[in-house]
Amino acid sequence: MDFTEAKVQVLFAVPMVLSNVFYFSIPMVSVMFAGHLGEVELAGSTLANSWANVTGFAFMVGLSGALETLCGQGFGAKMYRMLGIYLQASCIISFFFSLIISVLWFFTEPILVLLHQDPEISRTAALYIKYLIPGLFAYGFLQNILRFLQTQSIVKPLVLFSVIPLGIHFGIVYSLVNKTSLGFKGAAMAASISLWISFLSLAVYVVFAKKFNNTWKGLSFEPFHYILQNLKLALPSAAMICLEGWAFEILVFLAGLMPNPEITTSLIAICVNTENIAYMITIGLSAAASTRVSNEIGAGNPNQAKHATTVSLKLSVLVAVAMVLTLLSGHDIWAGFFSDSHSIIKKFAEMTPLLVVSITIDTVQGVLSGVVRGCGWQNLAVIVNLGTFYCIEAANGFSSQGTSGRCWNKVMDFAEAKVQVLFAVPMVLCNVFYFSITMVSVMFAGHLGEVELAGSALASSWANVTGFAFMVGLSGALETLCGQGFGAKMYRMLGIYLQASCIISFLFSIIISILWFFTEPILVLLHQDPEISRTAALYIKYLIPGLFAFGFLQNILRFLQTQSIVKPLVLFSLVPLGIHFGIVYSLVNKTSLGFKGAAMAASISLWISFLLLTMYVVFANKFNNTWKGLSFESFHYILQNLKLALPSAAMICLKGWALEILVFLAGLMSNPEITTSLIAICVNTQNVAYMITYGLSAAASTRVSNELGAGNPNKAKHAMAVTLKLSILVAVAMALTLLLGHDIWVGFFSDNHSIIKKFTDMTPWVVISIAIDTVQGVLSGIVRGCGWQKLAVLANFGTYYFIGMPIAVSLGFKFKLYVKVS
């Protein structure tokens, strides 16, 4: 990834994403208000909105696409005056086609009935769309001005110019629907009013802002000479956009031919609106690609245009992953914005996997469409869209309607998956936030120099290998004891187990602290570079206070996790991380502590984290049954806890130690500053990935232990199967993210170009390791929930030390692959 080019495109795309979402939200918000008046009103307004898209709005967006070629290349060629001429020509074309489409919209009811739509819904849709007609003209003019600004890279003001009309729209639509006699009609009328406000505010901006002195010279008759030239690009551009949109909208009409049309029409329309929202996000990147490509071509730089295209495609994949995860996690909430019907919300959940696949592909296709418009290849894109959407996709969609829910339910139990995802996401976030505290300290230390990066990274690895991983492992006993105890409704025992576990963590923290005081001679004994060992020893001494806090913190996390109290953890982990940035920056850069301040900041922030959670447990009423205060009774359960804690710690550490040993092996290679830093970055990356995996692992552990404690082994098995399927999805998402963004990621750790380049070579190995580790992490959670830690110890010991480590040593040293053994 070219980070510089990516930054340019992201800074361009984000305002475009926001402005497009805000403008698109105007008619969608009207549909939402209308939908809450009843099922028929929801079906009618969504059908009307689909009809408006299929015959009007999408066409207007397409017509404006000619300006992406003409204005984009004109701006690149510094033919500034022509941009205003092209804009006026495009507005004349939009006005002409708006008149034709308005006539069509007046006959909406008979057309929909002719298309075999439900008569009552058709009548409602026709009423709605008549009040949208004024908005069509405004929407066409608005799209033209947006393209005019976009091709000049003037995008940041668009956020303000789009959010204000949307904010006003909420007030208008609420007033017209709920406070006047207009009711249902008021929703459409509000959309028209707000679209005109949007257009007029942008028009005033273009006319009066000084920055447009070169590109806007006022109204002129000259644009009439360019209408034909504009049409040659506008019509193919409109066809290119509409053929894709029509394929989706046709599904709404097909839904009207099915039984129970109120439900099916509403459902498909919600899916299409969701697709449109996703496309509004995609169109930001698409606009960035179009503008960058057209500007570079206009300036005579075809190689720069190709490079911009490559970067846009990589960014599109990252955006697709983000949107997919968001929709999978929050589909019920999203569907609830459109309807209060439980039947519609449930059926939308069944359709979500298919919608996710569609959005992923459409995101990449959207960016390619932007490239096409930038190049002026709209004619070619029309043929491609016609073939793919109508010869393949639409036919497949027609044949599979009504079967998707049943098919996907066989693949995944979405009710159980939803429970686990809603559990896992907060756990993922809080674990990432807590882990980030120590990692951020390494990043700040690393920017002080290569030796400081190597020393802090080695210290962090040593801390993990001898302390932090062990503390996480010890707390694993609570996943069995508290998890099964909560399922068996032995609530009082959870507080007793927590205290016993904290006593154990305290004792082992003392032992580990003594070990940490002798870090330098131990590292030298292990043949590490003396200077790096000295730096690492200095760093880790200031981490010792944080070790105690980390142990206590992990115990409280398990205590809360086994009671399925996870959402508050996001806040309780984010706040200390936010504070940590201020602490570490101040201690490293604003005091004489410098390098030592990075480790000290981590200790302070870990104690803040622990104390915040302690206060929450002690004072919150929800823990009245599970926390009865400090008690000597907990000492009687130390031995019982140890029997699970030590195997649990061994189970976690054997895996972690195998990875951390690679850091020490790297110190034995030539150029230890580079190799140690590289391996340490890989291990930190693996740890971040595992923090994400650990959310699902925690969900599996809690679900399995609670069900076993309640005497439901079959439900525990079912929960395990669902978690394993989810782990595969997470592995794919993380692998794609790292493959596309590895340069950005390694840049957080070091500015050294050699390290960044070598990490790129190692990325495929890291990706394979993360993919396997994700599934293994979930299996570990199931083991902890069942109390099978001793079995897992044997499995981890055999695989990591009798198989993995010998292979790593052989490849690294004998076959000269060196650090690539990770």
Q: 455-508, pLDDT tens digit by residue?
A: 888 888 788 888 988 898 899 888 888 888 888 888 889 999 999 999 999 999
Which string of DSSP letters, residue by residue, matches 694-714? Answer: HHHHHHHHHHHHHHHHTT-HH
- In percent, the amount of the chain with pLDDT more than 70 equals 89
* Biggest distance spanned by C-alpha atoms of the chain: 93
Say what the alpha-carbon torsion angle 16, 18, 22, 28 is, to the nearest 10 degrees.
Answer: 100
Which residue's entry shows tokens 């939803």?
418
Mean pLDDT lowest among 38-52, 98-112, 628-642: 38-52
Q: Are residues 504 and 577 in the same domain?
A: yes
What is the reported pLDDT for 298?
78
Structure tokens belonging to residue 294: 């057209």
Distance CA 714, CA 759 (A): 45
Q: Is the pLDDT of residue 397 over 60?
A: no
Mean pLDDT lowest among 307-316, 372-381, 402-411, 492-501: 402-411
Confidence of residue 610 (pLDDT cuts 50, 70, 90): very high
The H-or-E segment that residue 443 falls in is helix 414-446
What is the reported pLDDT for 413?
65
Q: How many domains are there within the chain?
A: 2
Q: Which CB contacts under 8 angstroms, 24+ apart, belong to 411-417? A: 411/353, 411/725, 412/353, 412/722, 412/725, 413/718, 413/722, 414/349, 414/350, 414/352, 416/718, 416/719, 416/722, 417/722, 417/725, 417/726
Q: Are residues 366 and 496 in the same domain?
A: no
Q: Are residues 301 and 446 in the same domain?
A: no
Higher pLDDT, 286 or 645: 645
Residues 6 or more apart from 74 whose CB is under 8 A from it?
80, 82, 83, 86, 151, 298
Residues 6 or more apart from 607 whose CB is under 8 A from it?
545, 546, 549
What is the reported pLDDT for 671?
67
Cα–Cα distance list, 702 to 151, 345, 538, 622, 738 (Å): 53, 27, 39, 18, 29
Q: Which amino acid is at 519?
A: T
Q: Are residues 397 and 517 in the same domain?
A: no
Q: What mean pLDDT comes out for the span 7-12?
A: 77
User: Residue 115 in 3-state DSSP?
Assistant: coil
Q: Are residues 375 and 423 in the same domain?
A: no
Q: Are residues 152 and 234 in the same domain?
A: yes
Determine if residue 116 is left, alpha or beta; phi over 0 gives left, psi from -120 to 50 gives alpha, anything else beta. left
Distance CA 544, CA 546 (A): 5
Q: What mean pLDDT comes out for the span 416-439?
A: 81
User: Residue 558 in 3-state DSSP?
Assistant: helix
Show which of 411, 434, 460 is a domain's final residue.
411
Q: What mean pLDDT comes out for the span 676-700?
A: 76
Q: 13-34, pLDDT tens digit by residue?
A: 788 878 877 888 888 888 888 8
Distance CA 482, CA 496 (A): 9
Burial degree of 567 (CB within 10 A; 0-12, 13-18, 19+): middle
What is the reported pLDDT for 399?
47
Flag whether the pTM goes above 0.85. no
Q: Angle at the Cα of 627 (from 622 to 632), degrees rounded to 5?
A: 175
Confidence of residue 405 (pLDDT cuts 50, 70, 90): very low
Domain that holds residue 302: 3-411
Q: Are residues 436 and 336 in the same domain?
A: no
The highest-confidence range among 176-180, 413-417, 779-783, by mean pLDDT, is: 176-180
Cα–Cα distance list, 498 to 416, 430, 624 (Å): 28, 19, 14
Q: Which amino acid is at 299?
A: A
> Could you count the other beta carbons within 10 Å of the beta carbon of residue 388?
16
Positive/negative CA dihedral, 34, 39, 41, 46: positive
Q: Is the pLDDT of residue 65 over 90?
A: no
What is the reported pLDDT for 821?
43
Contact 209, 180 (CB under 8 A): no
Q: 335-392, pLDDT tens digit by residue?
A: 777 777 777 777 778 777 777 777 777 777 777 777 777 777 767 766 776 666 665 5
Which residue's entry shows tokens 């510094």?
78
Distance CA 314, CA 737 (A): 10
Confidence of residue 513 (pLDDT cuts 50, 70, 90): very high
Q: Are residues 130 and 256 in the same domain?
A: yes
Q: What mean pLDDT comes out for the span 129-147?
A: 92
Positive/negative CA dihedral, 739, 743, 745, 750: positive
Residues 6 or more apart from 513 whose CB is under 8 A from it?
544, 547
Higher pLDDT, 536 or 803: 536
The H-or-E segment that residue 421 falls in is helix 414-446
Q: What percent helix, strand, coil does the chain show, rounded to 5?
A: 85, 0, 15
Backbone phi, then psi, for 176, in 5-degree steps? -70, -35
Q: Are residues 483 and 397 in the same domain?
A: no
Q: Angle at the Cα of 557 (from 330 to 486), degrees rounded to 5?
A: 85
Show which of 411, 441, 471 is a domain's final residue.
411
Q: What mean pLDDT comes out for the span 589-594?
A: 88
Q: Is the pLDDT of residue 401 over 70?
A: no
Burial degree of 498 (CB within 10 A; 0-12, 13-18, 19+): buried
Q: Are residues 374 and 474 in the same domain?
A: no
Show which of 376, 411, 446 is a domain's final residue.
411
Q: Are residues 337 and 423 in the same domain?
A: no
The highest-confidence range among 88-92, 437-441, 445-449, by mean pLDDT, is: 88-92
Q: Are residues 421 and 360 in the same domain?
A: no
Which residue's entry shows tokens 């690149």?
76
Distance CA 610, CA 505 (A): 13
